[in-house]
Structures are given as C-alpha cells and as structure tokens.
C-alpha cells in the first residue's frame, strides 16, 4: 500500500532548503527525515534560486511580486504533479 503523499507548503520547502544551505544538514539526511526523493529536493533548490530575485523586488512593484510568486507556486505544483 502506498503512503499518502505530503504536499509541502512554500514555507516548508524554504525551511527544508534553509537547513541544507545555512545549517549544512546533508541532503540525504533531509530526504530521509522528510521522506523526499533527492530529485525533488534538487528541483525545489533550482526553483528557489531561479526565483530568488522576487525577494528583492521593490515594494512599489507589488504586481511583479505577485506575478513572480504565482509563477513559482505554479511551477511547484506542476513539478509535484509530475512526480506522483
């Protein structure tokens, strides 16, 4: 019987990535802890870096921030759907 898939929120994904990038926790340890395939972890990391510029978007350009966030969330959802 298959285990139920956990859909991680964007905040959870960033938290997991942060543990690797800032706290230097091994990818294999994180994948074991969160029952992730390493491929998924690296997809999240790629998306994080590709969309990181949105964090530095000026507050006056709020439409740009939401467009970038919408794009990121859409990619994240599509990537997860591809791996079911």
In the chain, what are the domain boundaries? 10-82
CA 19, 49, 51: angle at the middle one, nearest 5? 120
Residue 84's pLDDT is what? 45
Tell me the whole-structure pTM to 2 decimals.
0.64
Share of the chain above pLDDT 70, in %: 64
- Quick one: the chain helix, strand, coil %, rounded to 5? 70, 0, 30
Instruction: Give tens-digit pLDDT for 31-63.
Output: 999 999 999 999 999 999 998 888 787 665 555
Residue 16 and residue 34 in contact, taking contact as beta carbons nearer than 8 Å: yes
pLDDT (0 to 100) of residue 57: 76
What's the CA gap between 34 and 53, in Å, rounded?
27
Q: What is the pLDDT of residue 56?
A: 81
Average pLDDT, the chain: 80
């Amino acid at each position: 019987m298959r285990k139920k898939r956990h859909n991680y929120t964007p905040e959870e994904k960033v938290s997991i990535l942060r543990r690797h990038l800032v706290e230097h926790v091994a990818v294999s340890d994180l994948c074991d802890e969160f029952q992730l395939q390493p491929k998924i972890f690296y997809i999240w990391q790629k998306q994080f870096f590709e969309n990181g510029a949105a964090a530095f978007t000026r507050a006056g350009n709020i439409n740009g921030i939401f467009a970038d966030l919408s794009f990121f969330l859409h990619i994240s959802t599509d990537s997860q759907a591809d791996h079911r």
